[in-house]
Structure 1
């Protein structure tokens, strides 16, 4: 699942994943790196889904009111998976503004989950964890809904702290694979980085 529902306040609004680097929308870069690792891909986004029609992916809106953040997107993906892909036990989430995702993301998250007998797994690079980029157990969707709606919990790491969590780290040099474009200045940096990571 690609989280594409952010409000992009630091860029003046709009859809960050639709901003372009190296001549393509950031979202196209994300899909290019992420889709080969998965049995299927969905987008989590609110508002008119037609704006993503060119990507030919299911668009799944939050099913919790009030734009409570990425945990709501994760819950929406878990609920969608339980309904449409009942054979799937796990969902991987990535941010829609991370154009340089590692090509071994899903494999390494899954391997760490198995090796550590973990309930969840998240990605890290350098000294930072990236809570929206993780591996989530579909069976935990009821507990997540209770945390979001009943407790009004909003921070991913506060929720993951309740479970056995595997953290998988990637090097942040020469290019941080979890670089994300939050500002207009970041877009300029991404253009330069794209030259180093050209596919």
Structure 2
């Protein structure tokens, strides 16, 4: 399989942060989005950003900015679809998504997702972490997605589907399990308190 393209998901409304772009918040002297780009870029064949509104605010990052093609802030799956459409134009078979507000995700995210997808005709894998109260927790903004399913996903979104795991389960999606040692690698910044916690984690 060819190396996936990477798509950073930043299309949300950040209501718990008071609006605006969470990815542009500063963490240890560097914005969250820059940290995510630095971590994902070495793992993928190319990179784009899914964000809505005026794309020029991201000019400094030098990556294509992809708006949702499904209106009304339809959630992460709309960003996945935007990424799939972009990747199809690049001749790519798969994309890997990462959230713009999750600065500590694994540096081996892509290799582990690809490993978990071995033998799948349509590689569809979500990142997951162990959880003592349940078998595991899935992280639906971190996944490997086959471009071949983009029309299926478009139809599902147009029918009102919003929950990522409903769609991945329907297509026999798998999980790649990542260990948690010390800090949760998928800790994300939703609130000002989370940003303070992230500063402490640094």
* Fold match (TM-score > 0.5): yes
CA contact (8 A) 1:119 1:163 kept: no
2:194 is equivalent to residue 190 of structure 1: no
Matched with 1:34 is 40
Matched with 1:108 is 112
Give distance in 2, aligned partners of 1:117 and 1:79. Answer: 19
Structure 2 length-normalised TM:
0.92
The RMSD of aligned alpha carbons is 1.1
CA shift, 1:161, in A, is 1.1
Instruction: Choose from 73, 79, 84 the match for 1:67.
Output: 73
CA contact (8 A) 2:50 2:83 kept: yes
2:150 is equivalent to residue 141 of structure 1: yes
Which segment is superposed worse, 160-169 or 130-139?
160-169
Give distance in 2, aligned partners of 1:168 and 1:155. Answer: 19
Q: Deviations over 1:128-172 (max 9, x none)?
A: 1101110000000000000001x2100001111111212011122
Q: Secondary structure at the match of 1:161?
A: helix
Matched with 1:96 is 100
Structure 1 length-normalised TM:
0.93
Matched with 1:160 is 168
- Aligned pair count reads 191
Give distance in 2, aligned partners of 1:16 and 1:126. Answer: 26
Matched with 2:85 is 79
Give distance in 2, aligned partners of 1:49 and 1:118. Answer: 31
Show structure 1 runs of 4+ deviating over 4 A: 115-118
Gaps of at least 5 residues in structure 2 are 1-6, 132-136
Matched with 2:29 is 23
CA shift, 1:31, in A, is 0.7
Matched with 2:134 is none
Which segment is superposed worse, 172-181 or 20-29?
172-181
CA shift, 1:23, in A, is 0.6
